[in-house]
Amino acid sequence: AAGVIQSPRHLIKEKRETATLKCYPIPRHDTVYWYQQGPGQDPQFLISFYEKMQSDKGSIPDRFSAQQFSDYHSELNMSSLELGDSALYFCASSLDWGSGELFFGEGSRLTVL
């Protein structure tokens, strides 16, 4: 069965650079969520999209932005990277706005040097 696909899996950037992460949800899933997970931490909700519209916003820094495209894939753009942005970034998708289950991708590991 198709899963959530994230790219790239690993990314190394310098401070103040920009990074873009991509997420391809499970086919027919209409909601995408982005989470940030620091080492030994729980996943922190960043932002979500339902039917290509932002549906909720969590602890996402102003330096970050995201969008969901017409094919339902989503991109998380991170600018002016800081050392503290180093983390695993997970994308999750769900079917229907009311579904409780999140299907997570394998994550994109961002390292900021």
Please tell me the distance from the alpha carbon of residue 106 to that of residue 62, in angstroms, as a whole number.
25
Nearer to another protein by Cβ, of 27 and 58: the residue is: 58
- The amino acid at 92: A
Q: Which stretch binds another protein (CB under 8 A): 13-21, 37-45, 67-75, 79-87?
A: 37-45
Nearer to another protein by Cβ, of 85 and 93: the residue is: 93
CB of 43 to another protein, least distance (A): 5
Q: How crowded is residue 69: how many other Cβ atoms within 10 Å of its Cβ?
A: 11
**64 contact partners, CB below 8 Å, separation of at least 6:** 46, 47, 76, 77, 78, 79
Kind and range of the H or E run holding 78: strand 74-78
Establish if 41 lies at the interface with another protein (CB under 8 A): yes
107 Ramachandran zone, left/alpha/beta (phi>0; psi -120 to 50)? left
Nearer to another protein by Cβ, of 19 and 36: the residue is: 36
Establish if 31 lies at the interface with another protein (CB under 8 A): yes
Give the interface with another protein as residue ranges (CB under 8 A). Answer: 4, 31, 33, 41-45, 48, 50, 54-58, 90, 92, 97-98, 100-107
